[in-house]
Structure 1
């Protein structure tokens, strides 16, 4: 669980770090099972929100997360200096 910034609606949320599913196991519901387990655990802690980060061009992961109910929320942008 993470404490949210003061401007967020929910003060605590579950956070999912970067995950990797071996290509051999993709499309078999692994992400959905992980997310369902996280949701069940979070509910026992009275947490009602989960967040994660995903690279914008990782379309397969984005589809998997959206299939589990995640919605795009913010956009992080960066500038690299040479």
Structure 2
């Protein structure tokens, strides 16, 4: 099975919209603060069109089997780096997981970032999403800071 990593285009929108909802469904068990029903994390067409975003897909044959993006963000003024790439929309079709596809997408996003002289990459992952944590650690990421929360409205949890 040959896997090609390429930049996404508007012809990929239907598949990417399905991936977006599949990602929401996969993350729901880790986040009790998400609203019920369909959610729209990303404006995918906007990401594809943006100069400061690289969105890539993994493809085998004519089937898109994974995706991810790197978005260049300004960093906090007290950090050494002025900008960093934020990775998001990381998704691989379940029956293709464990084949190194996420790693291939991350490698493409790293190269895209380096070509833009961005040398810091960050991402967010749910603290209890052990599979994702393991995959990102395997790709070279290390935990940096943990966001903690407290719900004061018991009717909302």
| TM-score normalised by length of structure 1 | 0.92
1:72 aligns with 2:139: no
Give the strand-richer structure, 1 or 2. 2
2:95 is matched with which residue: 6, 15, 24?
A: 24
Question: Mind listing any 5+ residue stretches in structure 1 that lack a counterpart?
Answer: none
Q: Which has the higher contact order (CA 8 A, sep 6+)?
A: 1
Question: Matches of 2:125 and 2:115 in 1, distance apart?
Answer: 26
| Equivalent runs, 1:1-82 vs 2, <5 Å | 1-82=72-153
Question: Matches of 1:55 and 1:68 in 2, distance apart?
Answer: 17
Coordinate RMSD, CA, aligned = 1.1
Question: Mind listing any 5+ residue stretches in structure 2 that lack a counterpart?
Answer: 1-71
> Which has more radius of gyration?
2
The question of whether the paired residues in 1 share the 8 Å contact of 2:84 and 2:121 is answered with yes
Question: Matches of 2:111 and 2:89 in 1, distance apart?
Answer: 20
The question of whether the paired residues in 1 share the 8 Å contact of 2:91 and 2:102 is answered with no
Deviation at 1:29, TM superposition (A): 0.8
Structure 1 stretches of 4+ with a deviation exceeding 4 A read: none
Deviation at 1:24, TM superposition (A): 0.8
Count of residues in Structure 1 that have an aligned counterpart in Structure 2: 82
Q: Secondary structure at the match of 2:112?
A: helix
For residues 37-64 of structure 1, the C-alpha deviation after alignment (integer angstroms, 9 at most, x for no partner) is 0111111100001100000011111111
